[in-house]
């Protein structure tokens, strides 16, 4: 049941004044826009206690004083990874003995709950500034420009196991605040590594990387799959290729290869997976096992999904600016 708004002291006094001059509960309710039951409750309270003030409420007092609540709230705001055990010890040193569930309930009343920390790329100040620069420079680009981009990336499909998690205390919709995340860096390995590309017209090729990828292998993948994907997708003349700043992608030999092939490459800010809409397509795969499933699921992604991701690209740029360069939802 929704909590009703408490009547002001002036309104409660007015109800009593009207009652004393002989008005009925129904008449008072109509005049003041209140329910008859509400008016009756105020009048009965006045008759019994000769006051309209709020009376002391029943129930056990809070185990943690207001000062203690401020202390633990301030602690988790400064360090969201503080554990309940740490807070129990802090309060005990201050003379208050409580349990871990009491800590949880108290922080929940303050709008804080324990959540798994999100893993996001490690952002240095230079990364933040580069991301903001990219977003601001491209914010007003027409949709047609983004439709002429082939987006690409590699991803690792975990077949077994699960990365360990850390928990943080945070408010709703604050999961991507830097204090509430776990910075990560890209690294090789994994059970299945895939390379894929797509454009607004649909998915391009998806291939499995069977060995540890180096610069030569990456150039071979592009040679065998990028141009055929562009042709299959019927890309317009002057289409643009996007890839991130992985060392294999930015190696001198790779840059020279792309130049000789006359491929236009989109300049890209490091540590920016949220700016690449292909990250959403990786989620579409929804696989936990066989390579064949990945291939089948990738081919089933509708072209409309690809088109919508590119059409809404400006929202990604706006989000990066609004989030002051830090990682955003994508």
Are residues 41 and 83 located together in one domain of the fold? no
Name the helix (H) or strand (E) containing 157.
strand 149-157
d(CA 181, CA 73): 19
Are residues 86 and 149 located together in one domain of the fold? no
pLDDT at 165: 58
Task: Please indicate whether residue 213 or residue 287 has the higher confidence score (pLDDT).
Answer: 213
Assigned domain for 176 exists: no
pLDDT at 276: 95
Are residues 212 and 285 located together in one domain of the fold? yes
Assigned domain for 328 exists: no
pLDDT at 1: 42
CA–CA–CA angle 173, 178, 182 (5° rounding) = 100
Assigned domain for 58 exists: no
Q: How much is the pTM?
A: 0.60
Query: Would you place residue 212 in the very low, low, confident or very high pLDDT band (cuts 50, 70, 90)?
Result: confident
Q: Region of 50 please: left (phi>0), alpha (psi -120 to 50) or beta.
A: left
Query: Would you place residue 135 in the very low, low, confident or very high pLDDT band (cuts 50, 70, 90)?
Result: very high
Assigned domain for 60 exists: no
Least confident of 69-73, 202-206, 297-301: 297-301
Are residues 25 and 83 located together in one domain of the fold? no
Residue 114 has pLDDT above 90, yes or no: no
Name the helix (H) or strand (E) containing 49.
helix 36-49
Are residues 100 and 248 located together in one domain of the fold? no
CATH number of the domain enclosing 276: 3.30.420.10
Assigned domain for 59 exists: no
Using CA atoms, how far residue 217 sits from 50, 210, 211, in Å, is 87, 10, 9
Query: Would you place residue 288 in the very low, low, confident or very high pLDDT band (cuts 50, 70, 90)?
Result: very low
Handedness of CA 275, 276, 280, 283 (dihedral sign): negative
pLDDT at 210: 87
Are residues 222 and 87 located together in one domain of the fold? no
Assigned domain for 99 exists: yes
Total domains in the fold of the chain: 3
Tell me the mean pLDDT in the region 181-191: 55
Residue-wise pLDDT tens digits, 253-272: 999 999 999 999 999 999 99
Are residues 19 and 89 located together in one domain of the fold? no
Are residues 27 and 96 located together in one domain of the fold? no
In the structure, how many helices (H) and strands (E) does the chain have?
15, 9
Assigned domain for 89 exists: yes
Q: Looking at residue 275, what DSSP letter applies?
A: G
How many CB atoms are located within 10 Å of the residue 166 CB? 13
Query: Would you place residue 63 in the very low, low, confident or very high pLDDT band (cuts 50, 70, 90)?
Result: confident
Range of the domain at 77: 66-110
Task: Please indicate whether residue 252 or residue 59 has the higher confidence score (pLDDT).
Answer: 252
Are residues 23 and 150 located together in one domain of the fold? no
Burial of 106 (0-12, 13-18, 19+ CB in 10 A): buried
């Amino acid at each position: 049941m929704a909590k009703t708004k408490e009547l002001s002291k002036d309104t409660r006094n007015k109800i009593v004044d009207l009652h004393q001059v002989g008005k009925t509960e129904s008449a008072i309710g109509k005049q003041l826009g209140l329910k008859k039951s509400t008016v009756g409750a105020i009048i009965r309270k006045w008759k019994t206690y000769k006051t309209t003030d709020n009376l002391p409420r029943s129930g056990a007092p809070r185990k943690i004083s207001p000062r203690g609540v401020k202390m633990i709230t301030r602690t988790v705001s400064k360090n969201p990874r503080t554990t309940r055990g740490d807070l129990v010890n802090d309060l005990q040193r201050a003379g208050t003995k409580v349990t871990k569930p009491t800590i949880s309930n108290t922080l929940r009343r303050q709008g804080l709950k324990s959540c798994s920390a999100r893993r996001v790329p490690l952002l240095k100040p230079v990364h933040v500034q580069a991301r903001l620069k990219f977003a601001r420079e491209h914010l007003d680009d027409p949709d047609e420009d983004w439709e002429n981009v082939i987006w690409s990336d590699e991803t690792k499909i975990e077949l077994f196991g699960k990365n360990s998690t850390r928990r943080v205390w945070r408010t709703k919709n604050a999961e991507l605040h830097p204090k509430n995340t776990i910075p990560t860096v890209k690294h090789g390995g994994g059970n299945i590594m895939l390379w894929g590309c797509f454009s607004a017209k649909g998915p391009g090729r998806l291939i499995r990387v069977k060995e540890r990828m180096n610069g030569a292998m990456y150039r071979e993948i592009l040679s065998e799959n990028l141009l055929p994907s562009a042709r299959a997708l019927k890309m317009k003349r002057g289409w643009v290729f996007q890839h991130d700043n992985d060392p294999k992608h930015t190696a001198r030999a790779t840059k020279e290869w792309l130049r000789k092939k006359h491929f236009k490459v989109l300049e890209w800010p490091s540590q920016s997976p949220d700016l690449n809409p292909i990250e959403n397509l990786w989620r579409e795969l929804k696989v936990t096992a066989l390579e064949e499933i990945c291939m089948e699921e990738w081919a089933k992604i509708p072209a409309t999904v690809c088109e919508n991701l590119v059409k809404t690209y400006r929202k990604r740029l706006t989000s990066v600016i609004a989030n002051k360069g830090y990682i955003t939802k994508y």
